[in-house]
Amino acid sequence: MHAEKKFAFIISLILLSIPMIGHCAEVPDIVVNSIGFYPNDQKQAVVIGRHGGEEFKVVNATNGKTVFTGKLSDAQWCEDVKQDLCIADFSAFKKSGRYKIVANNGKESCEFNIGKTVYKDAYTTAMRAFYLWRCGMAVETTYNGHRYQTTAACHTKDGYTKYLGEEQDWRDGTGGWHDAGDYGKYTVNAGVTVGVLFMAWQHFQKQLNSVDLNLPETAKGFPEFLKEIKWETDFLLKMQYADGSGRVSHKLTRTEFSGFIMPETDDGKRYFTEWSSAATADFAAMMAMASRIFEPYDKEYSERILSAARLSYDALKKYGRKNFMQGDFSTGGYQTGDDDDIVWAAVEMWEATGEQQYLTDAEQRLGSQWNLIDSNWDWGDVSNLGAYTYILSNREGKNAELENKLKAAMIKDANQLADNSLSDPFGRALNQYYWGCNGTVCRQALNLHMADILAPNAKYQTAIKRIAGYVLGNNIYGRSFVTGIGVNPPMHPHDRRSGADGIDDPWPGYIVGGGHSATDWVDEQDDYSRNEIAINWQAGLVYLLSAALAE
Ligand code: 9MR
Ligand code: 9MR
Ligand code: ZN
């Protein structure tokens, strides 16, 4: 090879390897749930790349004293991360305090707590993240010494009606939450979000009520948790067509995404789009659920939104199926079939009203699904929400055979998830990776908790805590996936506010979507398919942390 060519060859080798340096995260030595453990929890750390059998210590992080010693498990080859993994189990150690794990080669884990309130701050920050997503009002918070804020209400001109053919070219579509790292508002994604948040309220009301979220007074007389959801339902009501037909706009966005600017400076025109049947069904389900849950706090509102729900449910029958077509739009699609959305809507209409017509629809649709319960579900697949409400309903008239089939399916699904979590060194129950999978990882806490209600077994709660451990640092990156919380959290989420506000640290409390394989997550702002934030994933996180709050 000529010297020149050889030089070029070496240079290109170097250049080729440069992107690798940025992308191959350094493999940590010892990883652990960096938020910590309740005294009686199962407690494990994962030691990476060791033989097994060596001694490890739990050391008091304040005074350096060894408080517990144990032996590492045998090494287990983990194919998806291509590493030997050993478990350091210190469940027998139950004393509150701040600690770290030290291996016999001197390598250390991050610090973590054992205590009675370990999840409280994480829960509060994750739920307040919804408030910080509010559109149509200025928001602010102080976190870790930084002040995060918008200086004025954003998107006050929501929204134009050009695509609806209404007489006026504008009507009120302000409020709600931004969807994600972008500022759009999408009805279908609100569906799974609001549904999962309401489930958290129904299952963990007592614990949630004991936490002060310090929200502005936008829903007088409502408990804090529900106050935040009402900000969204107030907005969603505006997504129903003004013509009284009950059809619901699929989304309200610009025609194309904005750049990385603050929301209050985003003045591109935003439009209500045409309706879809999935959005209309989700709307009916959300409003029916809200009418029932909000009833004790505001009777008038509860009645009004139940009428809105009825109207949209009727629209499904009158107008039939309609997929959303993007047309002029290149913002989020959230295009999805409506079968699962209608299952959920029918059940919620029945639970809210007790009327036979809805029960008939609900049972016919619940029973004819090819998969009674989904393990792996998100915005495109919300039938689980209907199945859960049906099973927990105290109303009479349920079909016992269907009920038993659904229960059996729920328990079978949760047993599989618990097995997955307990046999995965990192505690993850989902065995797939894709855009937004961290949201599903969290949301599976709901599948597990439902089984725990139906057939109580400690393994479900252990699996839920193990999932929380995975999300908060017990993973191959040794990093928390939630901004501002836990060990070495994401610094560069795909979030327009975080990218545009001039503060290094991102807005706090948000879970990022995660890798598309076990090892390819990167903390880079441009990587929206791995490092964005979104309300549907966040609702999963809030459910998971609510379940963890319950000890
Ligand atoms: O920022 C957008 C993000 O919120 C979406 O999830 C993603 C996929 O729809 O698209 C992002 O926007 C990108 C656009 O699609 C292409 N140009 C670059 C944009 C990111 O800055
Ligand atoms: O979460 C959505 C994911 O399941 C899809 O594969 C992806 C592409 O359509 O879109 C994701 O949702 C994005 C939405 O389209 C726009 N706002 C940001 C959402 C999160 O990335
Ligand atoms: Zn806004």
- pLDDT tens string 150-189: 999 999 999 999 999 888 999 999 999 999 999 999 999 9
> What is the average per-residue pLDDT within 107-112?
97
Nearest CA-CA partner of 352 in 282, 308, 292:
292
Say whether pLDDT at 24 is over 60. Answer: no
pLDDT of residue 26: 76
According to DSSP, the β-strands at 140-143 and 146-149 are antiparallel
96 three-state secondary structure? coil
Among the bound ligands, the one closest to the CA of 436: 2
The residue whose CB lies within 8 Å of the most ligand 2 atoms, and thus the one to mutate among 135, 177, 179, is 179
User: Is 305:287 a contact under the CB 8 Å cutoff?
Assistant: yes
Among the bound ligands, the one closest to the CA of 534: 2
**Ligand 1 neighbourhood includes 363 CB (under 6 angstroms):** no
Give yes or no: 266 in active site.
Answer: no
Among the options 494, 495, 501, 527, which is catalytic?
A: 494
Nearest CA-CA partner of 288 in 341, 366, 367, 214:
341
pLDDT tier for residue 551 given thresholds of 50, 70 and 90: confident
Say whether pLDDT at 245 is over 60. Answer: yes
- Rounded to whole angstroms, how far apart are CA atoms 421 and 431? 9
- Rounded to whole angstroms, how far apart are CA atoms 98 and 86? 22
pLDDT of residue 19: 40
> What is the average per-residue pLDDT within 489-501?
98
Say whether pLDDT at 4 is over 90. Answer: no
- pLDDT tens string 56-79: 999 999 999 999 999 999 999 999
- For the chain, the 3-state helix, strand and coil shares in percent, each to the nearest 5, are 40, 15, 45
Give yes or no: 80 in active site.
Answer: no
Question: Structure tokens of 209?
Answer: 């009520």
- Rounded to whole angstroms, how far apart are CA atoms 498 and 490? 11
- pLDDT tens string 349-391: 999 999 999 999 999 999 999 899 999 999 999 999 999 999 9
- Rounded to whole angstroms, how far apart are CA atoms 471 and 436? 13
Instruction: Tell the residue nearest (CA) to atom 15 of ligand 2.
Output: 332
**Ligand 1 neighbourhood includes 532 CB (under 6 angstroms):** yes
> What is the average per-residue pLDDT within 440-455?
98
- Rounded to whole angstroms, how far apart are CA atoms 475 and 484? 17
Give the single-character DSSP code of 145: T
**Ligand 1 neighbourhood includes 332 CB (under 6 angstroms):** yes
Nearest CA-CA partner of 420 in 145, 5, 80:
80
* Ligand 2 atom showing the smallest separation from residue 494 Cα: 21
Among the bound ligands, the one closest to the CA of 435: 2
Instruction: Tell the residue nearest (CA) to atom 13 of ligand 2.
Output: 332
> What is the average per-residue pLDDT within 145-152?
98
Question: Structure tokens of 550?
Answer: 């319950």
CA of 547 to the centre of ligand 3 (A): 30
Say whether pLDDT at 5 is over 80. Answer: no
pLDDT of residue 25: 56
CA of 435 to the centre of ligand 2 (A): 8
